[in-house]
């Protein structure tokens, strides 16, 4: 599969037009979420038929990204050459800010190397998202018993990595627009250590899409907040991995702080 973003980075073109439907929706979120639901339903139909493969996943992810741009999002990707040169398989460890990264990351990473996620059990049981996520052969955790979740990840994860598929890990228990290092556990580092593979930190600022109050996946759009995704350098786990975990946290904190200042200046 040819990469959608052949360079080290990507920036939404300045002259990207807003969808007419989004403009007619008076700046609300609903046109975006209508398109979001349309793509999900189309992907679900393919997954149920057993034909939702890696390329279909990447292309539906790209469609999500283009729809976000058509609804006012301005995206900025950096560090993709670091992913290309790192080889694989890898464990990608990042902060979890909104649903947006879950739908955008596949179009960035899948053309470079096959990936999957560690996901909550509720997601694979979801009537709409469930068939899609199951088709990606994720690691499913319950989020109720951390010890059982860790054991499951350390058993299934090395098998998946051994088959050449990289794994995206969001160590936070839930999505949050505020990065709290105390809630950022070492699950990803432990998995990489167990499997003997490298890790790449991922800093994410995706609060363009907020978390909804009643329905978390259907939050408001903040069109004045650019989307940033940046990958760091590959690291090998040394000893217990505590040093690498600190570096990952520092990378995420530094990038979030840099973007906050840059966005305030514009």
What's residue 140's pLDDT? Answer: 95
Does the pLDDT of residue 265 top 80, yes or no? no
pLDDT tens digits, one per residue of 26-46: 888 999 999 999 999 999 999
**Pairing mode of beta strands 75-78, 227-231:** parallel
pLDDT tens digits, one per residue of 76-135: 999 999 999 999 899 999 999 999 999 999 999 999 999 999 998 988 998 889 999 999
Model confidence at 68, in pLDDT bands (50, 70, 90)?
Answer: very high
Q: What is residue 49's three-state secondary structure? A: coil
What's residue 233's pLDDT? Answer: 97
pLDDT tens digits, one per residue of 191-221: 999 999 999 999 999 999 997 776 677 889 9
- Mean pLDDT to the nearest integer, 212-233: 88
What's residue 214's pLDDT? Answer: 60
What's residue 26's pLDDT? Answer: 84
Exposure string of 27-63, with b = 16+ CB inside 10 Å and e = fewer, is: eebebbbebbeeebeebbebbeeeebebebbbbbbbb
What's residue 27's pLDDT? Answer: 81
- Mean pLDDT to the nearest integer, 64-72: 96
As a whole number of angstroms, the distance between CA 70 and CA 34 comes to 13
Widest CA span of the chain, in angstroms?
56
As a whole number of angstroms, the distance between CA 143 and CA 116 comes to 18
What's residue 172's pLDDT? Answer: 87
Percentage of the chain modeled with pLDDT above 90: 83
Nearest to 234 by CA among 202, 190, 198: 198
Token reading at 238: 């040394």
Question: What domains does the chain contain, in order, with CATH numbers?
Answer: 10-265 (3.40.1130)
What's residue 206's pLDDT? Answer: 96
Model confidence at 261, in pLDDT bands (50, 70, 90)?
Answer: confident
What's residue 266's pLDDT? Answer: 63
User: What pTM value is reported for the model?
Assistant: 0.95
CB count within 10 Å of CB 178 equals 9
The answer to whether residues 199 and 86 touch, using CB atoms and an 8 Å cutoff, is no
- Mean pLDDT to the nearest integer, 8-29: 93
């Amino acid at each position: 599969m040819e990469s959608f973003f052949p360079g080290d980075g990507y920036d939404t073109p300045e002259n990207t037009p807003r969808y007419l439907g989004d403009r007619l929706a008076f700046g609300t979120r609903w046109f975006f979420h209508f398109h979001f639901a349309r793509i999900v339903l189309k992907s679900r139909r393919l997954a149920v038929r057993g034909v939702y493969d890696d390329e279909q996943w990447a292309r539906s992810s790209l469609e999500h990204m283009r729809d976000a741009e058509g609804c006012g999002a301005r995206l900025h990707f950096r560090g993709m050459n670091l992913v290309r040169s790192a080889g694989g398989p890898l464990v990608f460890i990042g902060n979890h800010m909104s649903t947006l990264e879950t739908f955008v990351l596949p179009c960035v990473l899948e053309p470079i190397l096959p990936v999957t996620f560690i996901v909550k059990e509720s997601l694979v049981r979801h009537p709409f998202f469930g068939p899609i996520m199951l088709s990606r052969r994720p690691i499913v955790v319950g989020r109720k018993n951390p010890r059982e979740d860790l054991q499951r990840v350390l058993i299934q994860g090395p098998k998946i990595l051994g088959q050449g598929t990289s794994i995206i890990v969001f160590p936070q228990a839930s999505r949050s627009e505020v990065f709290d290092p105390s809630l950022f556990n070492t699950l990803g580092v432990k998995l990489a250590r167990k499997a003997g593979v490298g890790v790449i930190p991922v800093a994410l600022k995706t609060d363009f899409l907020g978390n909804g109050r009643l329905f978390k996946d259907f939050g408001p759009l903040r069109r004045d907040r650019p989307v940033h995704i940046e990958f760091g350098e590959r690291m090998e786990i040394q000893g217990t991995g505590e040093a690498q975990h600190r570096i990952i946290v520092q990378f995420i904190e530094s990038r979030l702080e840099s973007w906050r200042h840059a966005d305030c200046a514009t």
